[in-house]
Amino acid sequence: MIYKNSYFKKELRQAYMENKISTNRKIASAFFLGLFSFALYFVVQTLQKSVLSDVVPEIMQPSFFSTVYLYIHIAVVFNSSYFIFYYDYLFFSEIRKNSWYLLIQMGYHPVIMCFSKLFALMYSVFLIYTVGFAVMVILTFLLKYTFIVTYLPTLYIVGLADLLIITSLSMMFSLYAKTVINGRYWAFFSAVFIFVLKIISGEYEIISNRVSMQNILALFDLELSMYWPVGTAIMIACCLICLFRSKNLAKYYNLPSDAAILPAGMDLVEIDSKTGKRKLIGGKAKKGWRGRIVDTVTTLFLIVFICAALAFNLFIILINASTPGQEVNIRGVIPFVFSTSTMQPEIMINDLAYFQKIDVQYPIDEGQIILFEESNVLFVERVISRAGNQLNVDIDNYPPMSQIGAMKKTVTRQAVHGVYSGRNRWLGALILFANTIVGRLLFLLVPAVLLFYQGQIYKYFKKNKS
């Protein structure tokens, strides 16, 4: 099949007997990428009143900027997963399988083949990213947000550049990775490297600013960030390395590293010429220490993830089942999901606040925040004064158009359940997400699938290591 057309057309089609990744499937993948990013934007909006609004406000705003900004990051994750899954067909690992050796003997030029494969993959990345970008923009029109066209080209360039750099790095590493599993690891680390580089170079400070992104020249301001010169140098270096390395590697026939070519029941033994010792190699050889470490870490990670997800589900159930007088008490601490803005900025909305459980002898001072019960309802307010066994309390933040002092109360010491001791904003956001439909599916369905199908999953990854 690969001899009927030019090598470049074959790479564009990526048509192999075992796996056909045609242009139609690429377009379908692009539509899926756009739809998935759009759906994820809606999921993120359910966490509007959480720590995410302070940490990553750029993806929480009702604007084209937020939807597209989220898309360019999802595109990196999607394409990295695409690279890992189809690693055998996309990168230079085929050289080690001697797929190029016969072609070169038949007159194909290795330099042209190298550039054809590299440019074909970049074209595929460009096609999927561009179509997905257009789908995301069109879907955002349905939300009737204010359309500002000035930062769309800038965001498009940022996302495309990230993908091209990751592609170049993955291509280069595939020439040095001797096994498929190692090549997939390097493809993953290439994406991680880009994120780290953008943070270190200060690129994120530019692209997360809507005002800066309306000026495309701000991307290339070397006083603000060195990301673009470094990224360009990386791409050029990777292309040159791919050119020379693939040319040299394709000249030689690579013998199989396993014993699949041996007859059944026969082992391959290496004899040391100096000591005369025999070393078993091939199919029955002992697995290397690196392989054992990877297997152990993978198994432990799977076990820890399942246990953590199940424990977190139990924790959420206990918190949601709490009632006045029957609060969850974990080693003397009452976790309480704060659902109002009345104690800002000390306690933000949807924070997971911790209250130390106390008895009637515990001293309470003015200025402390307490958890108390009144009319079978739990309240959280600050102590503003005390008189004997009576505590005068009030909230810190009154909503607009509300009467100041309307929440002042006088409570008895016996009504106090706990004293505020701290908060965790990220756990609060996680609990908020877990209470959504998507969160419940993720934290309940995924652990269940992993628990019952971990054997099949492990066998699948083990099969793809060679």
Section 243-257 average pLDDT: 69
pLDDT tens by residue, 87-103: 877 887 777 776 766 66
Section 170-190 average pLDDT: 86
End-to-end CA distance of the chain: 25
Section 273-298 average pLDDT: 63
| Nearest to 376, CA basis, from 319, 321, 326 | 326
Residue 429 has pLDDT above 80, yes or no: yes
Please name the residues in contact with 191: beta carbons below 8 A apart, sequence gap of 6 or more. Answer: 76, 77, 80, 166
Integer CA distances (angstroms), 207 to 23, 78, 184, 364, in order: 31, 20, 29, 48
Section 129-135 average pLDDT: 95
Residue 382 has pLDDT above 80, yes or no: yes
Q: How many helices (H) and strands (E) does the chain have?
A: 16, 9
Integer CA distances (angstroms), 329 to 150, 237, 315, in order: 53, 58, 11
What are the helix (H) ranges across 86-150?
87-90, 93-96, 101-105, 110-141
Q: Given this model, what pLDDT does residue 232 score?
A: 93
Token digits for 23? 């242009």
pLDDT tens by residue, 326-364: 667 778 888 888 888 888 888 898 888 888 888 878 888
Q: What are the extents of the domains in the chain?
A: 6-254, 292-321+435-464, 333-429
pLDDT tens by residue, 102-131: 666 666 777 777 778 888 888 889 999 999
Residue 37 contacts residue 71 (beta carbons within 8 Å): yes
Q: Given this model, what pLDDT does residue 164 score?
A: 94
Q: Cα separation of 16 and 19, whole Å? A: 5
DSSP line for 26-52: HHHHHHHHHHHHHHHHHHHHTTSSSTH
Q: Cα separation of 315 and 425, whole Å? A: 16
> What is the fold of 333-429?
Umud Fragment, subunit A (2.10.109)
Section 8-33 average pLDDT: 66
Residue with tokens 């900025």: 345
Q: Given this model, what pLDDT does residue 402 score?
A: 80
Sheet containing 333-337: give its strands across: 333-337, 352-357, 416-424, 369-374, 377-387, 390-394, 409-412
b/e per residue, 133-152, with b = 16+ CB within 10 A? bebbbebbeeeeeeeeeebb
Residue 162 has pLDDT above 90, yes or no: yes
Q: For the whole model, what pTM was predicted?
A: 0.78
Q: Given this model, what pLDDT does residue 4 score?
A: 42
Please name the residues in contact with 378: beta carbons below 8 A apart, sequence gap of 6 or more. Answer: 324, 327, 336, 371, 372, 417
Residue 64 contacts residue 152 (beta carbons within 8 Å): yes
Q: Cα separation of 379 and 136, whole Å? A: 43
In this prediction, residue 274 has a pLDDT band, given cuts at 50, 70 and 90, of confident
* Average predicted confidence (pLDDT) for the chain: 81
- Better-predicted residue by pLDDT, 22 or 301: 301
